Amino acid sequence: MTARTFITRGLRHYRGAYLGVLLGAALGAMVLLGALFSGDSVKSTLHQIAEQRTGKTTLVLAGGENFFRASLSNSLNRSDSKPETAPVLQLRSQVDTPSGRSTGQVNLFGITPAFWSFAPGDTTPPALDAKSWAINRELARTLDLKPGDSIVLRLGKPGLASRDAPLSGEPEELITVRGTVAQIRDDDAMGRFNLEATQLPAPAVFLPIETLAGAIERNDRANLLLFREPLSTDQATALVRKSAQLADYGLSLQDIPLSAATEIRTDRIFLPTLIEGKLRTLLPSARPVVTYLANTIAANGKETPYSMVTGIDPAAVDFLPDDLAPGQIVLNSWEAEDLAAKPGDTVTLSYYTLGSGNRLVEMSTSLVVHSIVPLAGAAADKLWMPDFPGIAEADNSADWTPGLPLDLTRIREKDETYWDDHRGTPKAFIHPVAAYNMWRNRWGNATSLRLPAGQSDLERQILDTLTPADAGLLIRDLAAESQTAAASPVDIASLFLSMSFFLILAAVALTAMLFRFNVEQRNHESGLLAALGIPPKKILRWRLLEGLVVVTLGSALGTLLAFAYTRGLLLFLESIWNRGGDRLFQFHAAPASILGGLFGFILLMMTTIGFVTRRQAKRSASLRLETGTEEVIRHGKSRARWIAPAAALTGLAALAGSKAMGPQGAFFLAGFSFLVAGLATFLTVLNRSRNSPSNSLSPARLATLNGARRPTRSLVVVGSLAAGLFLVVSVTAFQKHGGGEWQKRPSGSGGFAFWIETTTAVHRGSNADSTADILQLGDQRGQLGDILPFRVGTGDDASCFNLNSVARPRLLATDTAVLEQRGSFTIKTTAPGIEKSWKSLREGDALRAFIDETTLLWVLKKKPGDRIDYTDEQGNSFPVEIAGTLDGTVFQGSFIVDEQRFLERYPSTGGYQLFLADTPGDLTATRGILQKSLTDLGATVTTTTDRLAAFHSVENTYISIFNVLGGLGVILGAAGLGLVTARNLAERRNEFTQLHQLGISRKIIRSLVFRETRQFILWAIGIGLVAAIISILPALPKTGLLVTLGWIAALAALAAMFLLTAASCAWLAYRKSALFRAS
């Protein structure tokens, strides 16, 4: 016989006893590996989604609201390096169906067939035409669409320049485009294409780029250019620069024959300051031209409405006097006559400029007439006025729609005649310095640059000077961005491991306890082996080898179970991060997780088993032969009596220092300390009862003595149960409630009732007090109180709904003065030296931002005072300083910045796409009315209460998972209690028989056993509850005392029920099998 035979025989013979160990190991391994597999699955899913989201795209040239030629792609393809590129025109739209279904925030992708070759999977291009389009699965699911169905796109026509800019034209009506669904693209066939870092599919429509560009009257325009080659951003920039034309920078050259000049013009109304500066450096002879609309030119009690006035360097033109000063004006003869003005008269110019909060303000300036020029030659050149949208194409002055609040009834007959004859010829000329001072704005200073005609190779010179970033065309490393984003800020594996910690611990403790039972049961065997001269180390090794075989088998079983368990966990995660539709998370188990998890768990189990077995092995052979299964207790005074007060003091210190340690750290340390204190007290009481002789023996005394008989078993059972209860109860207390107090301005709702997001950007409109009815609700305006608009800037959603790692949260810019006046939201903390006020966002050298504390702590993992680099419109990096944190607001996942400071960096950002609004009326009714009224804007109206509740639901789902796992731990603890009870009863079979033989009734024996079990239960509930309640004390005022106590009472009752059931089952099982058979 060999040692192997001996071990095999032992395993076979004690298979019943080992079954518990095997199951315990299987459970522990299942939970541990399940946590790791969940992490793997989420990680793998995010990477897969990242791949589907960007396809084979490496880099992207992104213009946003700045368009470039779609044919730039062809130019690139013709270049020497021939990079594979695809132009895309991306817009946002609302999609309606004939059946009345509708959804907003749909991505429209105007594409060429080359786009499909970027797909990670199926690259077969669908046959699309002007009326037959492809959609993705998400849109098909949302609107229940199938091939052949009709859809209608409703979108706002993008302006040439930002609709916020003066003279950018009137916001146009929504345009509608009709088409049919030709194909539904799968996720791996570019159906998931999206530049935004999110795990959720965005609904999308794919149509020919010429169809979409034609619909918005921007033929041959795109705002994305996808690259397939693994180029560096510098290489791509160089390639784009080489193939670019002026049109790609929004520039054009205009011959001005009457002045023998050439003008560099922009299609964005105002020449971007950066481009102006670069071109003036390149072309020193270039002179800025500023042509602007004066609302009124008045003098001598007379006035001329709505006239163009041009600022130009007098030296650049022949007809202006060289000595024209900034405070002077030159009128043309028509205007001089209209005003009966002569040199030396004072003329008042009034005009619109943009004030704070993007409101139009009418300003006026007085200028002295320098001279009068005849309306002839270069002074009568119609080309002084650039093609202002809404003006240039108008037949009559009365038809102007420049996007400014004009009173067109002021236009006289003679004004119309002037328009007919001279169009936008300026009626007055001023010094460029005066023009700059009056009309410069965030989009630029000049409307064009004029330089003498005959510049050789002007276009090439300009193209060689400018970079795509100057025109807001930024090259992004999309592949790298998406892979970085796929590294979720939430480490699911660690999260589940921490949430399963107790369950794993309970499983390990229970398994080790069962193993120990087995070792105890074989004490005689060990004693005999020792007596026969088998070295103790060898006996220990055999025991451990048996344990290793069982634990390995159990862990292997656990691995198989983990596959199913992980799928359950993923379903939980789906409830947080998926909003319906296809299954988001795909199961994945990395070999490293399987092997590492298995090895780690087996090691943990074997270390624990080794610990308990070593203690057994240390006992002498004779003792083991004599005592059998009885636990040998060390006599003398226990250390436990010192541990209890020390641990309690540590717990109190943790609570007292919760501010310094942070609430979470304090909670866990305090909780752990009070649990230890409770268990040490329990042990002390057991020791005392055992060591205190008593003259009388009552059933109660006997029960106490029996409990103290095997203190380790008692401690494991009470400890598991108490820790399980503690976790479940205390974590439940952290459940988030509330959101119902939206009217309170310091609350997370800021006193606003609605969170309104629109697909189409809303512009200030033609009303000077633009925010009064910014949503153009008309008669329904009375349904809402204050409306606070937000500009939605660059960055991604960093809220708990986004699983991707977000380096730069979305910027939300608003008039922070309004928030300050209203006293909305609560600023929780600020960086040192920064005032706790919204005002502080308007100060400082960096762009300052407030953000929800949750996002800062858990997603960004930063602190107030830290800075994050953003890229501005021109591709320059600039810091956003985290000025402070907000307390649980609707803004979770976004940086709140001041609008004016934001516009310094992003002047082209047009319009508002987010609104907070309060209401005097009923929430539900008003929401319905708003949703209906705002259909054209593709608006989604959410109550702030619902938004906050949605955030809370994420945290509460985590807590639910914790509770389920903690609850499993309690059940496991209860099972342990049942096992211990059954085991104790089995081992004491003779004792009960003797009691019975002594005439003690079964009823008394039963009550004795119940007393023993009950004392465990009471101790466990007491220790668990007391530790939980003391530890959560600091959190109680927030979570609502009554709600929390209610939960605790319910859970305690549930736990008690569990435990009693477990004990009863144990009793019944034992009663059936052994006790009375023996008697």
Partner 1 sequence: MIEVRQLSKTYETPSEKLRVLTDLDLTVAAGETAAIVGPSGCGKSTLLNLLGALDRPTSGSVKIGDQDISTLTEEQAATFRNHSLGFIFQQQHLLPQLTVLENVLVPRLAGDWQEPAAETEQRARQLLEKVGLGQRLSHLPWQLSGGEKLRTAVARALINRPKLILADEPTGSLDPASTDTVADLLLDLNRDQGVTLIVVTHNADLARRMGKTFELRAGKLHPLITDHNRA
Minimal distance, residue 8 CB to partner 1, in Å: 9
Question: Would you say 722 and 1028 are in contact if contact means Cβ atoms under 8 Å apart?
Answer: no
Q: Which two tokens stand for residue 479?
A: 């592949």
895-924 residues in contact with partner 1 (CB under 8 A) are none
Considering only 78, 460, 635, 861, the residue that binds partner 1 (CB under 8 A) is: 635
Considering only 326, 405, 452, 536, the residue that binds partner 1 (CB under 8 A) is: 536
677-716 residues in contact with partner 1 (CB under 8 A) are 691
Determine if 620 is a binding residue for partner 1 (CB under 8 A).
yes
Q: At what angle do helices 699-709 and 1002-1032 cross, to 10 degrees?
A: 60
Indicate the helix (H) or strand (E) that contains 19.
helix 15-54
246-275 residues in contact with partner 1 (CB under 8 A) are none
CA distance linking residue 1073 with residue 1077, whole number of Å: 7
CA distance linking residue 1038 with residue 826, whole number of Å: 15
Determine if 572 is a binding residue for partner 1 (CB under 8 A).
no
Question: Would you say 603 and 624 are in contact if contact means Cβ atoms under 8 Å apart?
Answer: no
Minimal distance, residue 734 CB to partner 1, in Å: 46
Give the 3-state secondary structure of residue 446.
coil
Question: Would you say 547 and 606 are in contact if contact means Cβ atoms under 8 Å apart?
Answer: yes
Considering only 446, 529, 647, 669, the residue that binds partner 1 (CB under 8 A) is: 529
CA distance linking residue 260 with residue 317, whole number of Å: 10
Minimal distance, residue 6 CB to partner 1, in Å: 6
Minimal distance, residue 621 CB to partner 1, in Å: 5
List the Cα angle 475/478/52 in 5-degree steps.
Answer: 145
Considering only 35, 530, 882, 995, the residue that binds partner 1 (CB under 8 A) is: 530
Minimal distance, residue 606 CB to partner 1, in Å: 22
Minimal distance, residue 613 CB to partner 1, in Å: 16
Minimal distance, residue 534 CB to partner 1, in Å: 5
Determine if 6 is a binding residue for partner 1 (CB under 8 A).
yes
Mark the segment that binds partner 1 (CB under 8 A) among 7-15, 305-313, 845-853, 1030-1038. 7-15
Nearest to partner 1 of 2, 877 (CB atom): 2
CA distance linking residue 856 with residue 164, whole number of Å: 32
Mark the segment that binds partner 1 (CB under 8 A) among 619-627, 1007-1015, 1023-1031, 1047-1055. 619-627
Determine if 851 is a binding residue for partner 1 (CB under 8 A).
no
Q: Per-residue x/- marks for partner 1, 728-747, CB under 8 A?
A: --------------------
- Within 8 A by CB and 6+ apart from 641, the residues are 680, 684, 687
Other beta carbons less than 10 A from residue 946's beta carbon: 18
Q: Which two tokens stand for residue 1019?
A: 């101790």
Mark the segment that binds partner 1 (CB under 8 A) among 86-94, 103-111, 621-629, 832-840. 621-629
Considering only 17, 625, 964, 1078, the residue that binds partner 1 (CB under 8 A) is: 625
Minimal distance, residue 628 CB to partner 1, in Å: 10
Nearest to 126 by CA among 215, 192, 191: 191
Nearest to partner 1 of 525, 574 (CB atom): 525
Considering only 5, 695, 696, 924, the residue that binds partner 1 (CB under 8 A) is: 5
Minimal distance, residue 1062 CB to partner 1, in Å: 30
Considering only 528, 950, 964, 986, the residue that binds partner 1 (CB under 8 A) is: 528
Mark the segment that binds partner 1 (CB under 8 A) among 12-20, 458-466, 777-785, 1014-1022. 12-20
Determine if 191 is a binding residue for partner 1 (CB under 8 A).
no
CA distance linking residue 945 with residue 760, whole number of Å: 24
CA distance linking residue 723 with residue 506, whole number of Å: 9
Minimal distance, residue 994 CB to partner 1, in Å: 18
Considering only 21, 30, 621, 647, the residue that binds partner 1 (CB under 8 A) is: 621
Mark the segment that binds partner 1 (CB under 8 A) among 6-14, 474-482, 836-844, 981-989. 6-14
Considering only 65, 150, 175, 534, the residue that binds partner 1 (CB under 8 A) is: 534
DSSP annotation of 519:
H
Chain-centre distance for alpha carbon 1009 = 55
Mark the segment that binds partner 1 (CB under 8 A) among 522-530, 569-577, 602-610, 1043-1051. 522-530
Considering only 100, 148, 533, 778, the residue that binds partner 1 (CB under 8 A) is: 533
CA distance linking residue 721 with residue 1060, whole number of Å: 12
Nearest to 426 by CA among 390, 391, 379, 388: 379
Considering only 169, 468, 527, 966, the residue that binds partner 1 (CB under 8 A) is: 527
Determine if 652 is a binding residue for partner 1 (CB under 8 A).
no
CA distance linking residue 546 with residue 513, whole number of Å: 15
Minimal distance, residue 572 CB to partner 1, in Å: 44
Nearest to 48 by CA among 109, 120, 116, 118: 120
Determine if 13 is a binding residue for partner 1 (CB under 8 A).
yes
Q: Which two tokens stand for residue 90?
A: 């991306």
Q: Which two tokens stand for residue 49?
A: 């989604």
Determine if 619 is a binding residue for partner 1 (CB under 8 A).
no
Minimal distance, residue 532 CB to partner 1, in Å: 5
The number of CA neighbours under 13 Å toward the Cβ of 407 is: 8
Considering only 532, 660, 697, 998, the residue that binds partner 1 (CB under 8 A) is: 532
Nearest to partner 1 of 230, 636 (CB atom): 636
Nearest to partner 1 of 14, 436 (CB atom): 14
List the Cα angle 44/48/49 in 5-degree steps.
Answer: 120
Other beta carbons less than 10 A from residue 661's beta carbon: 17
Considering only 302, 538, 579, 639, the residue that binds partner 1 (CB under 8 A) is: 538
Nearest to partner 1 of 528, 1035 (CB atom): 528
For strands 428-430 and 302-312, give the pairing.
Answer: parallel
Question: Would you say 161 and 168 are in contact if contact means Cβ atoms under 8 Å apart?
Answer: yes
Question: Would you say 472 and 874 are in contact if contact means Cβ atoms under 8 Å apart?
Answer: yes
Q: Which amino acid is at 756?
A: I
- What separation in angstroms does the CA of 669 have from each of 355, 649, 701, 722, 1031? 55, 11, 35, 16, 9
In the chain, the N- to C-terminal Cα span, in Å, equals 39
Determine if 639 is a binding residue for partner 1 (CB under 8 A).
no
CA distance linking residue 286 with residue 450, whole number of Å: 5
Nearest to partner 1 of 277, 628 (CB atom): 628
Minimal distance, residue 496 CB to partner 1, in Å: 40
CA distance linking residue 106 with residue 95, whole number of Å: 7
Please name every residue paired with 912 in a beta bridge, in sequence order, or none if there are none. 762
Nearest to partner 1 of 10, 671 (CB atom): 10
| Total site size for partner 1, rule CB under 8 A | 31
Nearest to partner 1 of 476, 541 (CB atom): 541
Minimal distance, residue 542 CB to partner 1, in Å: 8
CA distance linking residue 745 with residue 506, whole number of Å: 46
Mark the segment that binds partner 1 (CB under 8 A) among 66-74, 258-266, 535-543, 1068-1076. 535-543
Mark the segment that binds partner 1 (CB under 8 A) among 326-334, 520-528, 871-879, 914-922. 520-528
List the Cα angle 125/131/133 in 5-degree steps.
Answer: 35
Minimal distance, residue 713 CB to partner 1, in Å: 20
Interacting residue ranges for partner 1, rule: CB under 8 A: 1-3, 5-6, 9-10, 12-14, 524-525, 527-538, 620-622, 625-626, 635, 691
